[in-house]
């Protein structure tokens, strides 16, 4: 029984991202992807608005995921971008999504880089509301006539933002929890998921992008393949699902029981890659040559690699001297990781032709001169010498003037926040500057609004989904933008904040001092109780130390005692007060341990000081007991357990925690007191705008070709608009061999595939059980049985007995059983036993078995395996014995060839790959 529920990114939806789906196989719940929406859309809801009338578009998705997270048994992430894995850190840390999670190594690293970039940029601009904020409350500040924000803060209180944004530490912990797999590495799950096998395959589109194959013994094979690319790119190979060499589908992924795929671009015709690259390069070269600049919004981890490789090759070939500025906090870390993961890259990239334009001798010399760190990261791979990194727009303006021609790559691609949005506000007002879009952006963001503005002004045949490259447009008019920022406090606000912090620190210091004083008093009482349970020898040592302390006084104490007068006993001694206070002289009539100066005396006081008498110090032996016996010192065990845990921690974990703590402390120290400000500005549009599709996804022609060749038994469409969903369904309906069970569920709609099987308890007769012939299939033993269910009065469980054990009635005598057309003397007819073959034939597995018995076999495409190669009697003129094994569309197998020894050997191996179930 399979149940599929889209949580976000459903079919026939205007918003195709983020992607998140709940797949339930029997009683196992699998979360497919856990993407995050764009938290700062253009139509963002103001905190002042009421929650009842206005809700964020992602509220329903996040609330549903929060409720389902504790019950999820398995998490599978397919791509390392925000649309597929951005919400996983928050759900892991705060929604108890602690189920085992799997991804490839690049998806783990790229997802962490993308999440860190997004988290840091948003938290530096807005108050999320889940952490204490330095400075004043959040305020929305309208601009004055001179364009500056007023200094006085707004009196409105801060409200919850409704955004679910993790912290930096939560992102690190969540992605470290992921289990990483290699491509084509089957993993047999344990625990509640026992029996399920997951295998990742290359999906293209992003580094480490994954097609998940989920194999269940009860529900069959499920393929989850979203956002694929069959085309080879500069840094990636195409998806393994479509084999370019053989022109067919990768056999392990063919004919699944259920295919879950997206249809986002089913109605799109993408232009040729050569035309797209030429349009991108020509626009960049022409703009820079005219002493203007370009702004190219991009992502921080995935598709940026293809752009960097393309730009670096063009810069080296054309010998351009213009800078390529990459505005990203995590850009260096991203490239450092990619250099260490060269085995995951493909396409035309190599260690010798990317980022290097010198001769082989110069490269060898440079390799020898590089330090160990660069060598470990792949010094010759992806070294972009024209690329410069900047953490923010202010650092860029300090290096290059706004008038210098340059190419700026800024994150994020949606222009909803961060450097790309800040630069666009100043960049768009300069004529001849070019804003170059390479992706459509998420629905409701500034990037999508600019794309729609460009697409609406194109002619009918030049629109982006018609297979041609459009032309750039000149933007005009005014665009209202909401800018979020974090500004330092000044003037009266700064003085008020400093005074508030000082009072807060003084209050905390007083509280800490009081807590420390109380702690010492408690420890003194505890030491007294603990000392009472010591041995007699320890008591004697305590008494001796006390007597020595009484007899040995320093000169200052003696002089002080003589100055006090005769009203004090000569046996008084000095005790230190708390926290360096002046010493007090106390007299004890009995031995008391600790500071007991405030203890009340039984005797009546005369004057300012009570008369006290010294007695011989004696520590009475006491034991702390309860009704069950001696009490246990819980604090001692807790302290010892903590010490053992600290010792068990490895040096790497200690260094990692210490490094994170130092980074957080350094960040807190360097960050000045500040406040969050939101300003509404009007941007005068005067630049040019161009869109070139560099998303690296299958278009409609590829989708409509690949899906019928996969030929699933059932299919579910996700992440698609209304028109794209209908286009793919209509295309599949015109193919006779294609399945008609195609589902396109909406958000929250359940799709149930298969039917619930009713199980019954039954007892098998001993005679029937001994005659069964069992065949082993995977982890089960299968047999064919034919009998009759009989209910006995002595048992509540029915019994299955053989039909032959029942008595034959009189009218079914042996004479009557003889057919009338039976020839005299011939044998009676006997019905052949019923038999069935269970299993799925894999031609690759058959090829390996044939090779083990010295039979040559070769795959010639289209699901055909040709077996043979031995010649009859060594005669060169005789034909070779060949047998062809062909898999049909409906799952049947055909064996073609002459009747020979080879034919029967191949047939026997095919039988051995199946479980033959026959009646006895």
CATH of the domain at 185: 3.60.15.10
175 versus 862: the higher-pLDDT residue is: 175
**Vertex 664, ends 661 and 667: CA angle to 5°?**
150
Question: 686 with 738, same domain?
Answer: no
Please, which pLDDT band fits residue 162 given cuts at 50, 70 and 90?
Answer: confident
In 3-state terms, what secondary structure has residue 75?
Answer: strand
What pLDDT is recorded for position 894? 87
Question: 66 with 185, same domain?
Answer: yes
Would residue 332 count as lying in a domain?
Answer: yes
When pLDDT is averaged across residues 458-471 and rounded to a whole number, the result is: 87
Q: What are the pLDDT digits (tens) for 214-252?
A: 999 888 899 999 999 999 999 999 999 987 655 578 888
Phi and psi (nearest 5°) for 745? -75, 150
What pLDDT is recorded for position 578? 42
Q: Which range has the worst mean pLDDT, 6-10, 754-758, 823-827, 904-908?
A: 754-758
Question: Judging by beta carbons within 10 Å of its beta carbon (0-12, 13-18, 19+), is residue 127 exposed, middle or buried?
Answer: buried
What pLDDT is recorded for position 660? 79
Which are the contacts of 203, defined by CB distance < 8 A and separation ≥ 6?
78, 79, 209, 210, 211, 225, 226, 227, 228, 229, 239, 240, 241
When pLDDT is averaged across residues 625-654 and rounded to a whole number, the result is: 73
> Does residue 341 register a pLDDT over 60?
yes
Q: What stretches of 475-557 adopt beta strand conformation (E)?
A: 478-488
What pLDDT is recorded for position 211? 97
| Cross-strand pairs, 800 | 764, 789
When pLDDT is averaged across residues 15-31 and rounded to a whole number, the result is: 93
What pLDDT is recorded for position 914? 82
Question: 525 with 624, same domain?
Answer: yes
Highest mean pLDDT among 282-291, 624-633, 868-877: 282-291
Would residue 601 count as lying in a domain?
Answer: no
Q: What are the pLDDT digits (tens) for 248-259?
A: 788 889 889 999
CA pair distance 751, 743, nearest whole angstrom: 8
Please, which pLDDT band fits residue 556 given cuts at 50, 70 and 90?
Answer: very low
Q: What are the pLDDT digits (tens) for 306-336?
A: 999 999 999 999 999 999 999 999 999 999 9
Question: Model's pTM, two decimal places?
Answer: 0.70
> Does residue 814 register a pLDDT over 80?
no
CA pair distance 195, 218, nearest whole angstrom: 9
Element (H, E) at 3: strand 2-8
In 3-state terms, what secondary structure has residue 760?
Answer: coil
In this structure, the number of other CB atoms found within 10 A of the CB of residue 590 comes to: 12
Q: Which of 831, 846, 867 is the last residue of a domain?
A: 831
Question: 228 with 84, same domain?
Answer: yes
Nearest CA-CA partner of 681 in 294, 193, 214, 149? 149
Would residue 362 count as lying in a domain?
Answer: yes
Q: Which range has the worst mean pLDDT, 340-344, 697-701, 723-727?
A: 340-344
State the helix-helix crossing angle for 105-125 and 168-176, rounded to 10 degrees.
Answer: 170
Q: Which of 831, 848, 867 is the last residue of a domain?
A: 831
What pLDDT is recorded for position 754? 78
Would residue 84 count as lying in a domain?
Answer: yes
| Cross-strand pairs, 716 | 260, 743
For residue 308, give its domain range.
273-484+681-691
Sheet of strand 880-887, all strands in order from the earlier edge strand to the far edge = 857-859, 864-871, 880-887, 893-897
CA pair distance 274, 138, nearest whole angstrom: 49
Nearest CA-CA partner of 708 in 745, 737, 675, 665? 737
> Do residues 261 and 32 touch, judged by C-beta distance below 8 A?
no
What pLDDT is recorded for position 548? 53
> Does residue 605 register a pLDDT over 90?
no
Question: 435 with 551, same domain?
Answer: no
* The residue to which tokens 């034991």 are assigned: 623
* The residue to which tokens 């500071």 are assigned: 595
Question: 251 with 280, same domain?
Answer: no
910 versus 760: the higher-pLDDT residue is: 910
Nearest CA-CA partner of 32 in 14, 20, 40? 20
Strand pairing of 629-630 and 387-390?
A: unpaired
Would residue 771 count as lying in a domain?
Answer: yes
Question: 899 with 854, same domain?
Answer: yes
CA pair distance 197, 187, nearest whole angstrom: 5
What pLDDT is recorded for position 158? 36
- Please give the mean pLDDT across all residues of the chain: 79
Nearest CA-CA partner of 437 in 460, 417, 464, 419? 464
Question: In Å, how far from its chain's centre is CA 808?
Answer: 68
Domain count along the chain: 6
When pLDDT is averaged across residues 504-512 and rounded to a whole number, the result is: 90
Residue 362 belongs to domain with CATH number: 3.40.50.10890
Question: Judging by beta carbons within 10 Å of its beta carbon (0-12, 13-18, 19+), is residue 834 exposed, middle or buried?
Answer: exposed
Half-sphere exposure for 884 (CA within 13 Å, toward CB): 10
Give the C-alpha distances (Å, rounded to integers) separating 916 from 773, 777, 838, 846.
Answer: 10, 9, 7, 17
When pLDDT is averaged across residues 452-481 and rounded to a whole number, the result is: 90
Nearest CA-CA partner of 134 in 496, 510, 484? 496
> Does residue 305 register a pLDDT over 90?
yes
When pLDDT is averaged across residues 63-82 and rounded to a whole number, the result is: 96
Percent of the chain with pLDDT over 70: 72
Residue 858 belongs to domain with CATH number: 3.30.310
What pLDDT is recorded for position 540? 55
Question: 796 with 730, same domain?
Answer: no
* The residue to which tokens 């860029």 are assigned: 396
* The residue to which tokens 């299939």 are assigned: 777
Q: What are the pLDDT digits (tens) for 661-674?
A: 777 776 655 667 88
Would residue 146 count as lying in a domain?
Answer: no
Question: 288 with 401, same domain?
Answer: yes
Would residue 47 count as lying in a domain?
Answer: no
Question: In Å, how far from its chain's centre is CA 27?
Answer: 23
Would residue 112 count as lying in a domain?
Answer: yes
| Cross-strand pairs, 3 | 24, 752
Strand pairing of 179-181 and 139-141?
A: unpaired
Please, which pLDDT band fits residue 346 given cuts at 50, 70 and 90?
Answer: confident
What pLDDT is recorded for position 375? 38
> Does residue 789 register a pLDDT over 70?
yes
End-to-end CA distance of the chain: 31
529 versus 197: the higher-pLDDT residue is: 197
What pLDDT is recorded for position 291? 93
Question: 430 with 345, same domain?
Answer: yes
CA pair distance 555, 552, nearest whole angstrom: 10
Q: Which of 712, 733, 753 is the last residue of a domain?
A: 753
In 3-state terms, what secondary structure has residue 101?
Answer: strand
Question: 791 with 866, same domain?
Answer: no
Q: Which range has the worst mean pLDDT, 383-397, 688-702, 889-903?
A: 889-903
Give the C-alpha distances (Å, rounded to integers) separating 191 from 27, 29, 70, 74, 698.
Answer: 12, 13, 16, 11, 37
DSSP state of 443: T
390 versus 538: the higher-pLDDT residue is: 390
CA pair distance 906, 884, nearest whole angstrom: 9
Question: 63 with 11, same domain?
Answer: yes
Give the C-alpha distances (Å, rounded to integers) separating 305 from 204, 301, 407, 831.
Answer: 13, 7, 16, 68
Question: Judging by beta carbons within 10 Å of its beta carbon (0-12, 13-18, 19+), is residue 519 exposed, middle or buried?
Answer: exposed
């Amino acid at each position: 029984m399979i149940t599929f529920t889209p949580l976000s990114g459903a079919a026939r939806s205007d918003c195709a991202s983020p992607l998140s789906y709940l797949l339930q196989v029997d009683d196992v719940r699998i979360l497919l992807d856990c993407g995050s929406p764009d938290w700062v859309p253009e139509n963002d809801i103001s905190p002042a608005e009421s929650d009842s009338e206005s809700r964020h578009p992602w509220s329903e998705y996040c609330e549903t995921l929060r409720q389902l997270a504790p019950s999820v048994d398995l998490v599978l992430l397919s791509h390392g971008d925000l649309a597929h894995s951005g919400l996983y850190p928050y759900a892991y840390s705060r929604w108890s999504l602690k189920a085992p999670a799997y991804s490839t190594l690049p998806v783990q690293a790229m997802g962490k880089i993308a999440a860190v970039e997004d988290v840091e940029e948003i938290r530096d601009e807005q108050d999320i509301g889940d952490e204490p904020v330095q400075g004043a409350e959040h305020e929305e500040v309208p601009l004055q006539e001179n364009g500056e924000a007023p200094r006085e803060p707004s009196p409105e209180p801060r409200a919850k933002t409704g955004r679910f944004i993790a912290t930096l530490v939560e992102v690190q912990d969540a992605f470290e929890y992921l289990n990483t797999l290699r491509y084509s590495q089957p993993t047999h799950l344990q625990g509640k998921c026992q029996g399920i096998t997951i295998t990742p395959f290359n999906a293209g589109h992003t580094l480490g992008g994954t097609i998940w194959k989920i194999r269940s013994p009860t529900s069959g094979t499920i393929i989850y393949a979203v956002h694929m690319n069959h085309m080879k790119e500069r840094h990636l190979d195409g998806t393994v699902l479509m084999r370019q060499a053989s022109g067919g589908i990768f056999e392990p992924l063919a004919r699944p029981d259920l295919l879950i795929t997206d249809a986002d671009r089913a109605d799109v015709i993408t232009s040729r890659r050569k035309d797209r690259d030429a349009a991108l390069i020509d626009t960049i070269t022409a703009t820079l040559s005219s002493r203007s600049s370009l702004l190219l919004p991009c992502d921080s981890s995935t598709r940026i690699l293809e752009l960097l490789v393309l730009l670096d090759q063009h810069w080296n070939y054309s010998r351009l001297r213009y800078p390529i500025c990459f505005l990203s906090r995590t850009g260096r870390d991203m490239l450092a990781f990619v250099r260490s993961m060269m085995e995951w890259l493909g396409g035309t990239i190599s260690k010798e032709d990317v980022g290097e334009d010198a001769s082989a001798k110069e490269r060898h010399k440079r390799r020898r001169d590089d330090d160990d760190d660069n060598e470990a990261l792949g010094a010759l791979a992806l070294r972009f010498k024209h690329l410069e990194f900047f953490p923010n727009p202010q650092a860029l303006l300090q290096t290059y003037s706004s008038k210098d021609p340059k190419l700026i790559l800024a994150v994020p691609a949606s222009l909803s926040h961060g450097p790309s949005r800040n630069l666009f506000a100043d960049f768009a007002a300069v004529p001849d500057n070019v804003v170059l879009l390479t992706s459509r952006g998420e629905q409701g963001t500034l990037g999508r609004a600019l794309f729609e503005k460009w697409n609406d002004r194109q002619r009918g045949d030049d629109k982006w989904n018609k297979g041609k490259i459009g032309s750039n447009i000149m933007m005009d008019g005014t665009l209202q933008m909401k800018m979020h920022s974090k500004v330092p406090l000044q003037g009266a606000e700064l003085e008020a904040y400093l005074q508030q912090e000082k009072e807060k620190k003084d209050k905390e210091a007083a509280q800490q001092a009081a807590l420390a004083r109380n702690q010492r008093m408690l420890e003194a009482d505890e030491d007294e109780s603990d000392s009472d349970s010591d041995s007699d020898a320890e008591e004697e040592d305590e008494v001796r130390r006390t007597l020595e302390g009484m007899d040995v006084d320093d000169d200052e104490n003696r002089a002080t005692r003589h100055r006090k007068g005769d009203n004090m006993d000569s046996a008084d001694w000095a005790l230190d007060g708390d926290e360096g206070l002046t010493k007090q002289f106390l007299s004890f009539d009995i031995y008391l341990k600790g500071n007991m100066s405030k203890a009340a005396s039984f005797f009546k006081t005369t004057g300012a000081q009570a008369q006290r008498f010294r007695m011989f110090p004696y520590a009475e032996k006491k034991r702390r007991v309860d009704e069950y016996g001696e009490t246990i010192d819980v604090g001692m065990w807790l302290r010892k357990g903590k010490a053992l845990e600290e010792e068990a921690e490895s040096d790497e974990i200690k260094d990692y925690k210490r490094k994170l703590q130092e980074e957080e402390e350094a960040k807190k120290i360097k960050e000045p007191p500040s406040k969050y400000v939101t300003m509404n500005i009007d941007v005068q549009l005067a630049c040019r705008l161009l869109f070139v599709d560099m998303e690296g996804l299958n278009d409609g022609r590829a989708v409509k070709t690949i899906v019928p060749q996969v030929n699933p038994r059932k299919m579910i469409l996700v992440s698609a608009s209304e028109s794209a969903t209908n286009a793919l369904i209509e295309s599949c309906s015109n193919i006779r061999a294609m399945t008609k069970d195609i589902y396109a569920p909406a958000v929250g709609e359940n799709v149930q595939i298969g039917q619930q099987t009713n199980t019954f308890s039954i007892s098998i007769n001993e005679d029937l059980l001994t005659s069964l012939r069992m065949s082993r299939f995977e982890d089960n033993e299968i047999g064919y049985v034919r009998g009759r269910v009989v209910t006995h009065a002595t048992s509540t469980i029915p019994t299955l007995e053989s039909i032959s054990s029942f008595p034959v009635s009189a009218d079914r005598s042996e004479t009557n059983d003889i057919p009338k057309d039976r020839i005299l003397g011939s044998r009676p007819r006997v019905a052949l036993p019923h038999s069935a073959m269970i299993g799925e034939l894999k031609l690759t597995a058959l090829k390996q078995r044939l090779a083990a018995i010295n039979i040559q076999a070769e795959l010639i495409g289209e699901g055909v395996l040709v077996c043979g190669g031995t010649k009859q009697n060594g005669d060169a003129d005789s034909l070779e014995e060949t047998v062809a094994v062909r898999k049909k569309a409906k799952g049947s197998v055909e064996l073609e060839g002459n009747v020979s020894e080879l034919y029967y050997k191949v047939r026997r191996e095919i039988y051995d790959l199946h479980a033959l179930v026959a009646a006895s």
